[in-house]
Structure 1
Amino acid sequence: MSDDFTDKKARASAWFRHLRDEIVAAFEGLEDSHDTGPFAEAEPGRFDVSETSRASDDGSDAGGGLMSVMRGGRVFEKVGVNVSEVYGTLGEAAQKAMAARGVPGMEDDPRFWASGISLVAHMQNPYCPAVHMNTRMFWTPGAWWFGGGSDLNPCIEYPEDTAHFHDQQKAHLAPHGEDLYARLKDWADEYFYIPHRHRARGVGGIFMDDRNTGDWEADFALTQDIGRAFLPAFVPLTERRRVQPFTEADKDTQLVHRGLYAEYNLVYDRGTKFGLATGHDANAVLMSLPPLAKWH
């Protein structure tokens, strides 16, 4: 693997940070502009920002990131937008898992580098859909790849909202190949499925992993467009639904749906497993969990 990956790593990490800054600004703008309807009299929410760190067995620097969490706002009940850049040596379990996935050279050299952005939003108004988005780059001495995507998780679905979310994904992926959106949509439907509940956790989106076509620039461009699709896909839905009145029954429906979301993230989500297995800040890894949930 050539030395120019030092530059590529820096470019990828800088992009994830840039995207994080855009999203944080947009979300605080949603808080400021919400001046009618439920929660409009509350103080507009702001992100609490803190640095995170990854623990290493020998005490050496292993990277970290930035955790940005807003709680109890006008629009967002809890939303986290995290970026990270971590590196070092994989533990034995993670190394074996990577080797089993066919990562070249992983059995002999467990060094790694990873950077990405991860976002999960849980909303005050049950008519506003929850949402998830992440993109990432992973590097080992023998391989590199990109992954990520976004998916919508309404507890009360509006078909027109689902259609808008998917249309934005499709439009942003169109420059990268006619059939790419359909393939990544199918992948999301498979990935965000909860086997023990025999259902999807939401209405889908797009997802990819292990993306390495051999053309780093093209794969990085695709990853950027997945990130660029997020705000135009999600913000209009929030602006439309945040003003709707709701009932206690609606809130109960939301809390039960959040239980479904929590089950998926704790049992199946690959990013959660990787973050905890590699010693990253547990609060940052578990940022995705809702502030309140309910099980019948």
Structure 2
Amino acid sequence: MSDPFDTRKDRAARWFRSLRDDITAAFEALEDSQSTGPFADRPAGRFEMAETRRQSEDGSDAGGGLMSVMRGGRVFEKVGVNVSTVHGRLGPRAQAAMAARGVPGMAEDPRFWASGISLVAHMQNPHTPAVHMNTRMFWTPHAWWFGGGADLNPCIDYAEDTAHFHSVLAAACDAHDPGYYTRFKSWADEYFFVPHRGRARGVGGIFYDDLNTGDWEADFAFTQSVGRAFLPAFVPVTERRRDTVWDDGDKDRQLVHRGLYAEYNLVYDRGTKFGLETGHDANAVLMSLPPMAKWV
């Protein structure tokens, strides 16, 4: 008997792929339009794509995805936009993590399916903030949910950039539930905090997980709104800052901030831990790491 969620899984996976296509096209357009600055003489950056595969413990196919990475562009120093759809059986550690999140029955039936998009951009100009975005759907025979969000990570803060980014995300949230933005902004402030440094890794955004209101269509629609909000939240900030003159001190500040970003992703990020523990392509999982970083 077919899984009644098969159609919904397919819809979600196709949506994440279409969002990936929209974002990569928009980022390549930014590269094409960059005609000034120290990197303007370079060829416009283009995404290099590679298929990724996940193998289960017995060596059988367990899905995969598409890794799209642009390096050394005019605007983007490194940006990755990954999509994946994977499935299989969760190991003991992952089962325990699911149980801790209130998912029953994982020991008896540890099957899972997950699909999503994950994006991290590290910029050439230190005045242009790095950014992260992801949205995903997770399914087990016992529960399903959506998660994701976006957060801005400037090394040089501009209040108007932060205000714009948050206002677009707030509008996306308010269209679905007037309480979502306050709730998910607070969650982001807590989640994207680096305890061993005693500070946030950026200026926040929104973050949500385990979203299951009981209405799959409504939760999927909200997740789509979060994905659609990303480009209007981030692209205007990039266009505002990409021609700002910078010096060696600005670049040094950017590299130190990237070190903070790398520490967070390697030590605390749930997605990094889940990807490595479930056998997904390590290069795709670690795509979020910056090309260069510095520690003082």
Is the TM value for this pair above 0.5?
yes
The answer for the alignment partner of 2:30 in structure 1 is 30
Task: Give the number of aligned pairs.
Answer: 296
User: How far apart are the structure 2 equivalents of 1:158 and 1:81?
Assistant: 25
- The answer for unaligned runs of 5 or more in structure 1 is none
Structure 1 counterpart of 2:221, one-letter code: A
1:70-149 equivalences in 2 (<5 Å): 70-149=70-149
User: How far apart are the structure 2 equivalents of 1:110 and 1:237?
Assistant: 43
Q: What is the aligned-residue RMSD (CA, Å)?
A: 1.1
Deviation at 1:93, TM superposition (A): 1.2
User: How far apart are the structure 1 equivalents of 2:138 and 2:179?
Assistant: 25
Deviation at 1:91, TM superposition (A): 1.2
In the alignment, structure 1 residue 15 sits paired with structure 2 residue 37 = no
Answer whether contact 1:38 1:245 (CA < 8 A) is retained. no
Q: Which moved more, 1:104-113 or 1:147-156?
A: 104-113
Structure 1 counterpart of 2:256, one-letter code: V
The answer for the alignment partner of 2:193 in structure 1 is 193
The answer for the alignment partner of 1:205 in structure 2 is 205
User: How far apart are the structure 2 equivalents of 1:104 and 1:145?
Assistant: 14
The answer for the alignment partner of 1:179 in structure 2 is 179
The answer for the alignment partner of 1:235 in structure 2 is 235
Deviation at 1:37, TM superposition (A): 2.3
Deviation at 1:107, TM superposition (A): 2.2
In the alignment, structure 1 residue 274 sits paired with structure 2 residue 274 = yes
User: How far apart are the structure 1 equivalents of 2:114 and 2:248?
Assistant: 43
Deviation at 1:97, TM superposition (A): 1.4
Q: Which moved more, 1:92-101 or 1:234-243?
A: 92-101
**Percent identity of equivalent pairs:** 76
Deviation at 1:193, TM superposition (A): 0.3
User: How far apart are the structure 1 equivalents of 2:196 and 2:225?
Assistant: 33
Structure 1 counterpart of 2:167, one-letter code: D
Answer whether contact 1:38 1:243 (CA < 8 A) is retained. no
Deviation at 1:61, TM superposition (A): 1.3
The answer for the alignment partner of 2:225 in structure 1 is 225
Secondary structure in structure 1 of the residue aligned to 2:61: coil
Structure 1 counterpart of 2:241, one-letter code: R
User: How far apart are the structure 1 equivalents of 2:113 and 2:232?
Assistant: 30
In the alignment, structure 1 residue 292 sits paired with structure 2 residue 292 = yes
User: How far apart are the structure 2 equivalents of 1:107 and 1:100?
Assistant: 12
Answer whether contact 1:169 1:181 (CA < 8 A) is retained. yes
Structure 2 counterpart of 1:130, one-letter code: A
Question: Which consecutive aligned stretches of 4+ in structure 1 deviate over 4 angstroms post-superposition?
Answer: none
Secondary structure in structure 1 of the residue aligned to 2:196: helix
Deviation at 1:2, TM superposition (A): 8.2
Answer whether contact 1:38 1:242 (CA < 8 A) is retained. no
TM-score by length of 2: 0.98
Secondary structure in structure 1 of the residue aligned to 2:9: helix
User: How far apart are the structure 1 equivalents of 2:80 and 2:259?
Assistant: 18
User: How far apart are the structure 2 equivalents of 1:140 and 1:64?
Assistant: 18
Deviation at 1:3, TM superposition (A): 2.9
Answer whether contact 1:44 1:74 (CA < 8 A) is retained. yes
Q: Which moved more, 1:118-127 or 1:102-111?
A: 102-111
TM-score by length of 1: 0.98
The answer for the alignment partner of 2:57 in structure 1 is 57
Structure 2 counterpart of 1:150, one-letter code: A
The C-alpha deviation readout for 1:142-192, integer Å capped at 9, x for no partner, is 100000100000000100000000000011111111111111000000000
The C-alpha deviation readout for 1:210-265, integer Å capped at 9, x for no partner, is 00000000000010001011000000011111111100000000000000000000
Secondary structure in structure 2 of the residue aligned to 1:62: strand
Q: Which moved more, 1:52-61 or 1:271-280?
A: 52-61
